[in-house]
Structure 1
Amino acid sequence: ATLSPAGYATVDSYIDALTATARAQRKDRFFTYLTSIKEENAYYASGSSAGFGLRFALDQTGQRLFATESFEGAPALAAGIDRGAEILAIGTTSGNLRTVSAIIAAEGTAGLTTAFGPDTPGTARVFRVSDAAGTRDVTVAKADFTLQPVSSRYGAKIIDDSGQRVGYINLRTFISTAEPALKTAFANFRAQGVTKIIVDLRYNGGGLVATAEYLGDLLGGGRSTSEVFDYTTFRTEKASNNQTRFFAPQPESITPTRIAFIGSGGTASASELVINAFTPYLHGNSALIGTNTYGKPVGQIPLDKPACDDRLRVIAFATQNAARNGNYYDGLA
């Protein structure tokens, strides 16, 4: 039966009702959502974002807040806040700073989001920061910036492990602008004879399937064009849209003997697609380290209403690896 929107005060509450059954089955954990066409297109095409340019995370106690990443070209790094810094307090002025623990005690972790303010350029906050340089108050205003999907500071490197060269790649998100940086990194890995690689996806919540497939190609130098990277499957009525994606090795591709994927509970979607794709080929030589991933073996299609700049991202397909494994709604382990 069709669910009437009458009686729902907001679009989000209506979407919640539409997806309640799938959510109860853990098959749509807020994967269906409404967003802006303009903003999403800008993000996936160029990494256009607005904010402080920090990625935050709580420690294991859930009481201490840290900057896990500080993005190049964004306000926070320019103000001297880098990854590893602890945020002790947040306020709109130095006179009304509230400690992180006090915010959490009063409002839960949602209170931190409120304390950060809206993601509109010009929104300013004072942070009391503790890092190797000491403790200080820093004022940062949100601004538009372009996210580097592979950090120019630490996103790609070769680690010398007792004479063995190990490639390391930290991919923040799967957007189209990641491809040139990935191409350059893997060309260097190939030139240096790298066959062992660490792929750091611990903070990567996903993105474009096409970019995930490109990363798979760069890691798939030993794969043939007849070997399956992934299957994309729609419901029976839309089966004509089903696709099989084969590996397409690139001139920069490497042939890894071992891959270590670093994951966390924030590793999802396109990140899990890449991790899952290599299990049938490398078996025990492809390992997930860290913690279990989020669990999103499905993808969305866009349903657009341009007059309102509205895009409904709705779950429409599932992904599987070459062994037809893809039922990891509770995460990869």
Structure 2
Amino acid sequence: MKQLSKAALLGIITLTLSACGSSGDSNSAGDAALDNTPPTWTKGVFEEASQFKNRCENPRIGQDLNGDDYADQAGSTLHEMHWLRAWSNNTYLWYDEIVDQDISLFADPISYFGTLRTTATTDSGAYRDQFHYTQDTAEYEQLRSGGASASYGAHFKLLEASPPRLARVAYVEPNSPAERAGLRRGTEIVMIDGESFEDSSDIDTLNGGLYPEENGETHTFVVQHVGETNTRTINLTSQVVTTAPVQNTRIIETDDGKVGYLTFNTFGNITAESALIDAFTTLEEERVSDLVIDLRYNGGGYLAISAQLAYMVAGNTLTDGKTFERTVFNDKHPAINPVTGKAISNYPFVNESLGFSVSAGQPLPSVNLNRVFILSSGSTCSASESLINGLRGIDVDVVLIGDTTCGKPYGFYSTDNCGTTYSTIQFRGENDKGFGDYADGFSPENVSTTVGERIIGCQVADDLLTPLGEENEAMLKAALDYRVDGSCPPVSVIRVAQRNSSQKNDLRNDPRIIERELKQRIWLDNLRAGAK
């Protein structure tokens, strides 16, 4: 099959680990005497972004986390807004749908940036661009360099965010405080630090306990395990938790062959490479005839690992010479990546280790299947959707069991200017057939709504009362039944808490939760961009 050269593979790793904050603009302002004349706006006339890059109202002094001097120079908010205007006109995927407004009408760069986006909607009525962010650069760099935050190792699923609230544990990380305290899938949260989870108005206490901000925080929980009538009181202390990307690898014996199953929770950890290799080595040795990959909680991460996983599913014959994902920028940049300055090339299915957590150049195992079952939810996003789309592009039958995926065929390179990191959609991914139009996600064909790109499969609710990987867990059972006769269970009600901005007791209205979700999304999105 077509392979990347060793130099190209090393380039992928370098980009993935370091290019996420690349600006894509040269800083020509430092090469000549500064012109302090305030820039003026002329409708429809755009200058080079480099003329305004790093010209700041409040220039930073000192060094960043990498020890590099800040490039900031004296400027104004007008310079900062003119840079945003020129940068967006050059790199934004739908630059021609931005309404070019007089910059003097805006008080600051962040409010102006909010207008530099399309207002077009998808077939569902949702905004096509739901991924337009700003973040303080110091905070962003801290997140990017650390990659870890305080946690108990319990992943909570909020089923009802407003009274009467309901939250259960979706899964726990091995060897984590949550596992040591006995939390397991389905455990219901009853009280946190003396406050009733169901109806307390003290959302600060509830969210402070659910989502600790610092290591070493201790909070008291009253919980109730599935199948028990009594509650238990436990103390949880937060720490940096090591994520296990792959869990529950198992072989299911059936009358007509072996079915492999694995829970895969993130592409965003470099250990996913070695974990997947170990899992697929087992699956290959067992000669499985079908495969179920559980991506219901996988929000994405490294595109390179998604391309490896696709190869491990389909093998050499189906992937030889095919494109896993091609990157499409706006029509100003058909051949050259406007951020990196490098030629745009198709991203292949990757058939060897890349050096994330296994020495580079080792052949990958594969189960060589032309069908795969994917368990999905609204949290199945980005690189997870690239896996679905990439496999469909080479005619692998992807059977979707669960709910509509998040709808993220887009990506960006977050870019700093004057202490703020801006994220704006700059490309979309397409498969070998040129398809990448799934802004409303992928939906099982029997889904009750009309949104999403429909593909074969069944809509099934997340069965939080049954351990992941057990054959009677609703999604896995539906996959096993479908492979026998193509049937689906009755459509079930999907319970996911939606943010209600008018409800003051809605836990998801807490700014800390909004910020936490935003940081996680930006982190994973930039890992995806780095593999381009």
Q: Shorter-chain TM-score: what band? A: 0.7 to 0.9
Do structure 1's residue 262 and structure 2's residue 362 form an aligned pair?
no
Instruction: Work out whether residues 160 and 167 of structure 2, in 8 Å CA contact, stay in contact via their aligned partners in 1.
Output: no
Number of aligned pairs?
Answer: 313
Q: 1:107 & 1:21 partners in 2: Cα distance?
A: 36
Map 1:168-317; keep pairs closer than 5 Å: 168-175=261-268, 176-221=270-315, 222-239=317-334, 240-241=336-337, 242-249=344-351, 250-282=363-395, 285-304=397-416, 311-317=421-427
C-alpha contact 1:233 1:243 (8 A) present in aligned 2: no
Secondary structure, counterpart of 1:292 in structure 2 = coil
Q: Distance in 2 between matches of 1:251 and 1:117?
A: 37
Structure 2 distance, partners of 1:202, 1:226, is 30
With over 3 angstroms needed to count, the CA separation of the structure-2 counterparts of 1:19 and 1:41, relative to structure 1, is farther
Amino acid across the alignment from 1:98:
E
Task: Say if 1:233 and 1:317, in contact at 8 Å, map to a contact too.
Answer: yes
The answer (yes or no) to whether the contact 2:314–2:370 under 8 Å persists in 1 is no
Contact 2:166 2:188 in 1 (8 A): yes
Matched, 1:52 2:52: no
Counterpart in the other structure of 1:26: 127
Identical columns (%):
29
Q: Deviation of residue 60 (structure 1)?
A: 7.3
* Aligned equivalents of 2:202, 2:375: Cα separation in 1: 32
Give the gaps of 5 or more residues in structure 2: 1-42, 44-84, 86-102, 338-343, 352-362, 444-532
Moved more, 57-66 or 311-320: 57-66
State yes or no: 1:39 paired with 2:152.
no
Residue identity opposite 1:267 in structure 2: T
1 CA distance for matches of 2:365 and 2:280? Answer: 6
Q: Of 155, 166, 174, which residue of structure 2 is paired with 1:72?
A: 174
TM-score (norm 1): 0.82
SS at the partner of 2:179?
helix
Query: Does 1 or 2 have the higher relative contact order (CA < 8 Å, sep 6+)?
Result: 2
Aligned residue in 2 for 1:327:
437
Q: Which residue of 1 aligns with 2:78?
A: none
| Equivalent of 2:243 in 110, 129, 147 | 147
SS at match of 2:199: helix
**Larger Rg, first or second structure (1 or 2):** 2
- In the superposition, relative to structure 1, how do residues 298 and 147 fare at CA in structure 2: closer, same or farther (>3 Å)? same
Cα distance change on mapping 1:5 and 1:169 into 2, 3 Å: farther
The Cα RMSD (Å) is 3.0
By how many angstroms is 1:163 displaced? 5.6
- The one-letter code sitting in structure 2 at the alignment partner of 1:274 is L
**Which residue in 1 is equivalent to 2:56?**
none
3-state SS of the aligned residue for 1:274? helix
**Given the alignment of the two structures, is residue 164 of structure 1 paired with residue 164 of structure 2, yes or no?**
no
* CA 142–238 in structure 1, closer or farther in 2 if over 3 Å, else same: farther
Q: Distance in 2 between matches of 1:4 and 1:290?
A: 49
